[in-house]
Structure 1
Amino acid sequence: MKIHTVQTIRKIVLYIVVALGVFVFAVTASVYPSGRTVHEMIEWLGIVLIVACILGRTWASLYIGGRKIEEFVQTGPYSVMRNPLYFFSFLGAAGVGMQVGSIALGLICAGLAWLVFHVVVLQEEQVLAGRYGASYRDYLARVPRFLPKPSLWHDEPTLTIRPPRVLMTFADALVFLLAVPLAELFEHLQDTGLIPVLLRLP
């Protein structure tokens, strides 16, 4: 299976999960009343995670942007973890869930994102191992898949940056911010009784 095919499958699965997630988002509320300190603190923590996601994905794209097929990148963020783009997406997914004012929903969203990307990563690793052979298998054995290991950090003196790819990744990551007004809209619709609350989470 080619990397392009794997990435296409990833996008399709991700769209399905996002559509399901929006429905769950709409009918879920926090056990902490809106406007209370705990509720607001969880929402702000979620915003911090979303911003970290946007900045982190943009940073990683400076190294990998458009080069995943052509080159085997293992410097910068790719020196401490194999999939920094996905790692920062987990943070963003958790931040999205927290916009309901629920830590539990944040963890559920991060877990679902991990599940989707884990399946895709297994396919990507097979493709890259076939392409790069022993050097990639050594990388697999040495560098963690998702959790960063800072002691492995090494960089390169110069980078060839492809601005369109970086800007595209930045723009894609900005979508996570839509969760903030969307959560407020659903909360208002729940308060007015236009949509039901089927689930309350801490």
Structure 2
Amino acid sequence: MKIHTVQAIRKIVLYAAVAVGVFVFAVTASIHPGDRTLHEMIEWVGIVLIVACILGRTWSSLYIGGRKIEEFVQTGPYSVMRNPLYFFSFLGAAGVGMQVGSVLLGLICAALAWMVFYVVVLQEEQVLTARYGDSYRDYLARVPRFFPKPSLWHDDPTLTIRPPRVIMTFADALVFLLAVPLAEFFEHLQETGAIPVLLRLP
């Protein structure tokens, strides 16, 4: 399977997951009333995670943008974990779930994102192993898949940046921010009785 095919599958699965997620988002509420301090704190922690996601994905794109097929990147964020783009997406997914005012929903969203990307990563690893052989196998054995190991950090003295790719990644990551007004919109609809609350989570 070619890496283009793997990436296409990833997008289809991701869009399907987002569609289901929006529905769940619409009918779920926090057990904490909207005017309580804890509710607001959870939402703000979620916003911090979303911002970290946007900045982290953009930073990672400086290294990988447009190079995933033609180069084997092992520097910068890719020196401490193999999939920093996905790692930061987990943070963003958690932040999205927390916009409902629920820590549990944040954890559920992060877990679902992990499940989606884990399947894709297994396919990507097969493609990259076939392409790069022993050097990639060594990378697999040495560098964690998702969670960073800072002691492995190393970087190049110079970096060639491809602005269109970086801008595209930044723009894509901004979609996570839509969760903030969307959560407020659904909360308003729930309060007015326009949509039902089917689930309340801590």
State TM-score, norm by structure 2. 1.00
Query: What is the DSSP-based 3-state SS (H/G/I as helix, E as strand, rest coil) of the residue aligned with 1:99?
Result: helix
Residue aligning to 1:192: 192
Structure 1 runs (4+) greater than 4 angstroms displaced? none
Question: Could you tell me which amino acid in structure 2 is paired with residue 125 of structure 1?
Answer: E
Residue aligning to 2:6: 6
User: CA deviation digits over 1:70-90, x for unaligned, max 9?
Assistant: 000000000000000000000
User: CA deviation digits over 1:6-25, x for unaligned, max 9?
Assistant: 00000000000000000000
Question: Could you tell me which amino acid in structure 1 is paired with residue 152 of structure 2?
Answer: L
Shift of 1:54: 0.2
| Alignment of 1:139 onto 2:139 | yes
User: CA deviation digits over 1:67-108, x for unaligned, max 9?
Assistant: 000000000000000000000000000000000000000000
Structure 1 alignment gaps of length 5 or more:
none
User: CA deviation digits over 1:141-186, x for unaligned, max 9?
Assistant: 0000000000000000001100000000000000000000000000
Residue aligning to 1:19: 19
> Between the two proteins, what is the percent identity of the paired residues?
88
Structure 2 alignment gaps of length 5 or more:
none
Residue aligning to 1:158: 158
Shift of 1:35: 1.4
Mapped partners of 1:7, 1:184: distance in 2: 32
Residue aligning to 2:75: 75
Mapped partners of 2:22, 2:142: distance in 1: 37
Question: Could you tell me which amino acid in structure 2 is paired with residue 25 of structure 1?
Answer: F
| Alignment of 1:97 onto 2:64 | no
Mapped partners of 1:22, 1:72: distance in 2: 36
Question: Could you tell me which amino acid in structure 1 is paired with residue 48 of structure 2?
Answer: V
